[in-house]
Amino acid sequence: MKTIVSFFFLLLFSLSVFAQTYYKIGLCSSLSRAINVYQCDYIEINMTEDIVADKPDSVFNETLKLVKKTKLPIFSSNCFINGNIKLIGPLSDQGAVLSYAETAFKRAHELGIKVVVLGSGNSRRIPDNMDFMHGKEQFVELCKILANIAKKYRIVIVLEPLNQNETNLVNTTIEGAEIVRVVNSRYFRLLADFYHMARSGESPYDNLMAVKDVLYHCHIAEFNRTFPGATGYDFSEYFRALKDMSYKGRISIECGMPDLDESLTNSINYIKHYYYAD
């Protein structure tokens, strides 16, 4: 009897450890394309396309109808705001931005979303005729306000560093972590996108370990935006860092997929290969 009880508790302990260390895998996709997706753990939808915070409730109601048809939970969203709406600089209308954000987070909360990705490279780009440090300070102050709005809805904003082809503000995880630490809110953390890290020439292991105190969410794609495993791109240093820091967050696949079902299945298997590798 003691042997059976001991085995039972050992099994529970092993499962709890596994649950604590294993990260869930999701798919970045428009809601309409992801309705029949079942292979992964969650969906990361497009905020501008699906939450449509700049449009009336009647338009958003169509999203609510689609959500009822999906097989997976909606955990996160990306593409926070349209590129023609400026977050900083002389063309920025902070009142309009905050009004948009209030609607966006409210609707995200209705969908059960827990994480909102702040990428939006064109929106956060510092204009050429603006002092760079002033623009950066303006962005930090805006992020503090956005974090307070997100807090009301128990949503975490994750700042996404983007390569220099997409924006001139926050191009590396190190730069992103610096801003996250200044904002200093549990509702404003960091995203690491492996594609952008590679494009920016970052050291996967060293830079991820340097930001482990603020890292909350990850995106993955190969160097050419192909799906994980399409060309055999080596992610070993990225996953070595995640293992060494005991990463508890999630990983969303964000890339082109010519055949959604087959590409997604292959991607998940490729990612799990790295997780289980010694």
Average pLDDT over residues 251-263: 95
> What pLDDT digit, counting tens, does each position of 136-187 carry?
999 999 999 999 999 999 999 999 999 999 999 999 999 999 999 999 999 9
Helix, strand or coil for residue 50? helix
What is the distance of C-alpha 169 from the center of its chain? Answer: 17
pTM: 0.92
Mean pLDDT is lowest, of 14-23, 47-56, 209-218, 239-248, for 14-23
Q: Please give the full DSSP string across 114-173, using - where no structure is assigned.
A: -EEEE--HHHHPPPTTS-HHHHHHHHHHHHHHHHHHHHHTT-EEEE----TTT-SS--SH
In percent, how much of the chain has pLDDT > 70? 92
Closest CA to 76 of 109, 36, 99, 103: 109
Q: Compare 12 and 48 and report the one with higher pLDDT.
A: 48
Residue 1 has pLDDT above 90, yes or no: no
> What pLDDT digit, counting tens, does each position of 210-243 carry?
999 999 999 999 999 999 999 999 999 999 999 9
Average pLDDT over residues 192-210: 98
Residue 17 has pLDDT above 90, yes or no: no
Topology of the domain comprising 18-276: TIM Barrel (3.20.20)
For residue 99, what are its two tokens? 């009004």
Domain residue spans of the chain = 18-276
So what's the pLDDT on residue 277?
Answer: 81
Q: Are 220 and 253 in contact (CB under 8 A)?
A: yes
Helix, strand or coil for residue 86? coil
